[in-house]
Amino acid sequence: MQKITNVEEFQAVREKWGEKLLILGHYYIPDETIALTDRQGDSLALSQFAAADETCEAIIFCGVHFMAETADILANSPEKIAKRGGKRIPVLLPDMTSGCPMADMANMAEVNECWKQLGRIIDTEDVLPVTYVNSSADVKAFCGQHGGVVCTSGNARRVLDWALTQKSRILFLPDQHLGRNTALEMGIPREEIVMWKKADGAPAEAVRNAKIILWEGYCPVHNRMDAQKAAELKTADPDAKLIVHPECEQDLVCQSESAGSTAFIIKEIQNAQPGDRFIIGTESHLVERLKNGHPELSILHLGEPHPCEDMAKNLPSALFAALEQLENGTLENLVSVPEEIASNARTALENMLKLG
Ligand code: SF4
């Protein structure tokens, strides 16, 4: 049995695999692991790399569970499997406990119950379910089954604009903040946005008036960033530009100079001029990497550094163990979505990809 205990042993085995192996790394994983990956990106970009790669025979996805699921769904469509002569591409997650608390805030029993209860108040035939990509495969499948769609933090506005050309209302899962921030940016009045609570739903009158019905999920990492701290930092350094992720609360997003996806934040920093000053409200592995990569800029965390604990589980030792599994053919960390779920989830993902 092959054992990999350090970077040299990892590189030796990795070289043997060559292009047959694709190692993907999300921007939020630790630096020592990202240095060992082939492609880096946000969750959707990485899944698209997985889907587009024609040469790889195996994928290790250094991220969290829903991302590996999305890569499996896109890389292992029946057409792609047929083209490979029946072969599936195994997708491995280095640490099987690296989930996403936000994705876990919407399970199918709860979503089905919500849909049933909504059906007693409004015509659900006229509601389009939209899910943030940070959701489980079965929530994506629910959306696909009902003509719905997936969105990312980078394209939420475009997706919601389209969704409202299809149906009168949207059920937005699972991130209330991305849903609310996007709806308000679109000019939807607050009284047409309602939050559905798992425990007691929402008042019938508010649901009848709503264009956007929000699920009550949130990202614990971005939810900890607060508007008051941002105001203190801005008072201390008024020239610093405050940039936050749209998973942050609305009062913080309102206060920021700009809000956007991880890719957007990286671009803002890459396009800055020497001496420019920033306060950044997003996951701290990324903020640290931006700070270290741009000593010509002043980059501050918004308050205490906030690492994503699940992303942090992607340690080099976990990646070594995943490569060992591939080498030994044991595949204990395989993430594989059954085709009856994957096909509907793929429909929702493809509905998004068609929108560009
Ligand atoms: S940063 Fe938030 S949304 Fe992203 S994986 Fe961690 S908990 Fe989930």
Is pLDDT above 90 for 88?
yes
Q: Are residue 68 and residue 21 in the same domain, yes or no?
A: yes
Average of per-residue pLDDT across 195-204 = 96
Strand order across the beta sheet in which 277-281 lies: 258-259, 241-244, 277-281, 298-301
Is pLDDT above 90 for 356?
no
Q: Are residue 106 and residue 216 in the same domain, yes or no?
A: yes
Q: Are residue 292 and residue 251 in the same domain, yes or no?
A: yes
Q: How sure is the predictor about 330, in pLDDT bands with cuts at 50, 70 and 90?
A: very high
SS3 62: strand
Task: Tell me the pTM.
Answer: 0.96
Q: How sure is the predictor about 231, in pLDDT bands with cuts at 50, 70 and 90?
A: very high
Minimum-distance ligand 1 atom for the alpha carbon of 310? 6
201 alpha carbon – ligand 1 mean position (Å): 25
Query: Rounded CA gap, 292 and 170, in Å?
Result: 41
15 alpha carbon – ligand 1 mean position (Å): 31
Mean of the per-residue pLDDT values of the chain: 96
Minimum-distance ligand 1 atom for the alpha carbon of 102? 8
308 alpha carbon – ligand 1 mean position (Å): 6
Average of per-residue pLDDT across 291-304 = 96
Predicted confidence at residue 47, as pLDDT, reads: 83
Ligand 1 mutation pick, 176, 249, 311, 313, max ligand atoms within 8 A of CB: 311
Alpha carbon of residue 249 to chain centroid: 17
What domain range includes position 91?
Answer: 7-99+312-337
Alpha carbon of residue 253 to chain centroid: 18
Closest C-alpha to ligand 1, atom 5: 100
Instruction: Output b/e per residue, 193-208; b: 16+ Cβ within 10 A.
Output: bbbbeeeebbeeebbe
Q: Are residue 176 and residue 160 in the same domain, yes or no?
A: yes
Q: How sure is the predictor about 2, in pLDDT bands with cuts at 50, 70 and 90?
A: confident
Query: Rounded CA gap, 143 and 165, in Å?
Result: 16
Strand order across the beta sheet in which 39-41 lies: 39-41, 21-26, 58-62, 91-92
Residue 354 lies in a domain: no
28 alpha carbon – ligand 1 mean position (Å): 9
pLDDT tens digits for range 155-191: 999 999 999 999 999 999 999 999 999 999 999 999 9
SS3 222: helix
User: Of 347, 286, 354, 352, nearest to 152 (Cα)?
Assistant: 352
Residues 313, 98 contacting (CB under 8 angstroms)? yes
211 alpha carbon – ligand 1 mean position (Å): 27
- CATH number (domain holding residue 41): 3.40.50.10800
Kind and range of the H or E run holding 354:
helix 339-354
Paired strand residues for 150: 131
State how many domains the chain has: 3
Q: How sure is the predictor about 44, in pLDDT bands with cuts at 50, 70 and 90?
A: confident
Q: Convert 285-312 into a string of H (helix), E (strand) and C (coil).
A: HHHHHHHHHCCCCEEEECCCCCCCCCHH
Residues contacting ligand 1 via CB (< 6 Å): 28, 64, 100-102, 134, 219-221, 283, 308, 310-311
Ligand 1 mutation pick, 62, 310, 314, max ligand atoms within 8 A of CB: 310
In the numeric block, the tokens 């394209």 are attached to 155
